[in-house]
Structure 1
Amino acid sequence: MNNKILITGANGQLGSELKVLSKYFSQFEWVFTDRDELDLCDLENLEVKITQINPAIIINCAAHTAVDKAESEFELSDVLNHKSVSIMSKWSHVNNSKFIHVSTDYVFDGTASVPLKEDANTGPINVYGQTKLAGEIACMRENPNAIILRTSWVYSSFGANFVKTMSRLMQERDSLNVVNDQIGSPTYAADLAKAILTILIHPKWQSGIYHFSNEGEISWHEFALAIQEIGKFDCLVSGIPSSAYPTPAKRPQYSLLDKTKIKNTFGVVVPDYKESLARCMELLKEV
C-alpha cells in the first residue's frame, strides 16, 4: 500500500515543523523536497518529477511569500503560487492522490469586521494575495477533492519571521514602532503542522477550504507586546498606524479567520496564540 507523503517547501517554516512531527508518524513514508529536489518553477518537468516520486498524498507548503517583493516579481509569484499548484492538483486528481494546499488570509480585502468564514468574499489587494487566490481557484478546478488550508501571520522557531525579528530588535534597541491597525491572529507553524496531521489520520477525508490560525484577535502591535512580555525585553514598543509605515504591498486591515469549520469537521484543537507563542519562544531560547 502506498503511504508516501510528498512535502514541498520542506525548508520553510511549515515544512520544517512537519519534519519535526514526521518522526512520530512512522506509518507514513515521508519525502521532503525543496527547490533542489523538486523545482516548482520548472513547470515543464513538474508532472514527470512527481510521477517519479509517486506520492499518495501531496502537502504543498511551498509559496512565494515575500509579500513586498511579489509586487515587482509577478511572474515568479504566479508560477509558485498559482501555476505549479494547478499542475500538482491536476496530477493528484488523475492519480487518485490526496492534495493539501496551504493558502493565506491575504486572499481577502481586509474590510471585514467579523471573523472570516471559508465562504466569505475574496478580494486580494496585493500581488501575493492575487496569485494565492488564483492558486486556490486552480486547485479546486483541477481537483475538487483537494483540501485548502488558509492561514495567517505564520511564525516558528525556523526561518525568518515576526517573532524572531521582534525578539532580536527588542534586545538591540531602546524603542520600536509597530503597526496597530491591522487585525488578525498569528499562527504557530507547529500547530498548523499538527492540524494537517489530524486531518491526515482522520477516518474521513472531507475536501474543501478550511481556516486555521491560533485563537485570539490582535494587532501586530499587541503581538509585539506579547513577545516583549514573554521575552521580558526592556524596550518601549509603540503602536503606529499603517499610514506611518508605508510598504510596497498593501496589507489587509482585518483578516481574522473563523476556525469553526476545521474544529467541527476534523476535531482540530486550536491553541490560544499566547500559549503557542510562549512554547515557540522557549524553543528559541535553546537555539
Structure 2
Amino acid sequence: MSPKEENNIRVLVTGGDGQLGKCIKVLEKDYPTLNLSFTSSKDLDITNKKNIAEFFKNNSLDYVINCAAYTNVEQAEKEPDKAYLVNAEGVKKLAEICKKYDATLIHISTDYVFDGYKNTPYIEEDVPNPINEYGKSKLKGEQYIQDILGEHFIIRTSWLYSQFGKNFYKTILQKSTTEEKLTITTSETGTPTNANDLAKFIINIIKSASSKYGIYNYSNLGESTWYSFAYEIVRISDKLDTRNLEKADNYFTLAERPTYSVLNKEKTLKTFPTSIENWKNSLSKLQNKMYDE
C-alpha cells in the first residue's frame, strides 16, 4: 500500500449503523480529506475472515475504526459464545487482515475490562480483571490485537450515549414521559460519555497521523452514578420531573458490573492535541441540540 496521503485518507468504519458509527457519519462533511466508508454486519461480517479479506482486497484502506461489537452485557451471560465470536474472534480476524494489508486499526473497548475494586480512576497500565462475560470477551479482543498488530489504537470508553440507537440517555427520556416512577441504581460509579465527543476524538487521532500506538482511555470528565446521570438528563429537560426518579442501592442484574470504573485520561491528554469536556456540559449540549442530528 502506498504511504498514507494527507488529502486522501481512506477509512473504514465497521459497525457503521451503531450509535458511534452514526456519530462519525455526522462528522463526515467536516472532514473532506477523509474518504470514509461505513459498513454494517450485513455488508461486512467481521466474524467471516474470507468476507473481510475480500473487502480489503477490493478497497484500499489506511485506517479501520472498529465499532462492530456485541454489546448486550446481560445477554452475554446467557450466550457468551456469541459475545466471544464478535468481540474476540471477530476482532482477531480483523487484526490479521489489517496486518496483511498495512491498515491501522482503531478499536473501541470498554471500562468493563476492569473489576471495579479500585477507588481511583483506572489508568491504561492497570491490570484488567473483567467480572462479566462481556468484559472478558472485550479483553480477549484487546489481547488479540496486541499480539497480532503493531499499528493499533485501543480506546477504552464508558457509558456511551448519543442521539442515535438504544442507550441509557434515550431510554430515560422515553420512560420519563410514560412511567410514573423510575428506579435507578446508585451502586455503580463511572463516567457518561457522549459518543459525539468520542467520534471527534477518533477522527482527531487519524488527522494527527500519530504513530504513538497502544491503549488509551477516553470518556468525558467527571464521574457519576447511573442515578445521577438519569437525574441530570431529567433535570435539564423542560418536560420531565426529577421527582419521578427513585434511588436503588441494589438493583439485580444477571451480569456482575464494576462498582467503580472511572477512567483516567491523563495519558490521552498528553499524547493527543485534544480537550475533553465534563460529562454534564456535554450532556447539556446534546440536550440543546447543539450536535447535528
TM bucket, shorter chain: over 0.9
The aligned counterpart of 2:263 is 257
The aligned counterpart of 1:13 is 19
2:36 counterpart SS class: strand
Q: Distance in 1 between matches of 2:131 and 2:254?
A: 11
Q: Distance in 2 between matches of 1:147 and 1:285?
A: 26
Residue identity (%): 36
- 1:217 Cα offset (Å): 1.2
Q: Distance in 1 between matches of 2:84 and 2:210?
A: 32
1:96 counterpart SS class: coil
Q: Which amino acid aligns with 1:177?
A: T
Q: Which amino acid aligns with 2:220?
A: N
- 1:286 Cα offset (Å): 9.8
Q: Which amino acid aligns with 1:168?
A: Q
Q: Any unmatched runs of 5+ in structure 2? A: none
Of 185, 194, 215, which residue of structure 2 is paired with 1:209? 215
Q: Which amino acid aligns with 2:93?
A: I
Contact 2:46 2:93 in 1 (8 A): no
The aligned counterpart of 1:246 is 252
Q: Which amino acid aligns with 1:110?
A: G
1:53-108 deviation digits (Å, cap 9, x = unpaired)? 23111000110001101112222211110111111112222322111000000000
1:112-163 deviation digits (Å, cap 9, x = unpaired)? 1000000111111111000000000001111122110000000000001001
Contact 2:47 2:93 in 1 (8 A): no
- 1:50 Cα offset (Å): 2.6
Contact 1:108 1:122 in 2 (8 A): yes
Of 27, 30, 52, which residue of structure 2 is paired with 1:46? 52
Q: Any unmatched runs of 5+ in structure 1? A: none
2:183 counterpart SS class: strand
TM-score, reference length from structure 1? 0.95
Q: Which amino acid aligns with 1:48?
A: E
Q: Which amino acid aligns with 2:196?
A: A
- 1:285 Cα offset (Å): 11
2:283 counterpart SS class: helix
Q: Which amino acid aligns with 2:104?
A: K
Q: Distance in 1 between matches of 2:152 and 2:209?
A: 16
TM-score, reference length from structure 2? 0.93
Contact 2:117 2:260 in 1 (8 A): yes
Q: Distance in 1 between matches of 2:215 and 2:247?
A: 34
1:23 counterpart SS class: helix
- 1:205 Cα offset (Å): 2.2
The aligned counterpart of 2:133 is 127
Q: Which amino acid aligns with 2:249?
A: P
Contact 2:95 2:148 in 1 (8 A): yes
Of 182, 202, 206, which residue of structure 1 is paired with 2:188? 182
Aligned CA-pair RMSD: 1.7
- 1:174 Cα offset (Å): 2.5
Of 81, 84, 88, which residue of structure 2 is paired with 1:82? 88
Contact 1:156 1:188 in 2 (8 A): yes
1:283 counterpart SS class: coil
The aligned counterpart of 1:172 is 178
Of 225, 236, 244, which residue of structure 1 is paired with 2:244? 236
The aligned counterpart of 1:219 is 225
Contact 2:26 2:292 in 1 (8 A): no
Q: Distance in 1 between matches of 2:36 and 2:292?
A: 27
Contact 2:153 2:213 in 1 (8 A): yes
Q: Which amino acid aligns with 2:268?
A: I
The aligned counterpart of 1:156 is 162
Of 69, 73, 97, which residue of structure 1 is paired with 2:75? 69
* Alignment CA distance shift 1:285-1:202 (3 Å): closer
- 1:267 Cα offset (Å): 2.0
Contact 1:60 1:100 in 2 (8 A): yes
Contact 1:157 1:283 in 2 (8 A): no
Q: Distance in 1 between matches of 2:146 and 2:152?
A: 7
1:39 counterpart SS class: coil
- 1:181 Cα offset (Å): 1.4
Of 201, 205, 217, which residue of structure 2 is paired with 1:199? 205
Aligned residue pair count: 285
Contact 1:8 1:34 in 2 (8 A): yes
Of 16, 36, 39, which residue of structure 2 is paired with 1:33? 39
Contact 1:263 1:269 in 2 (8 A): yes
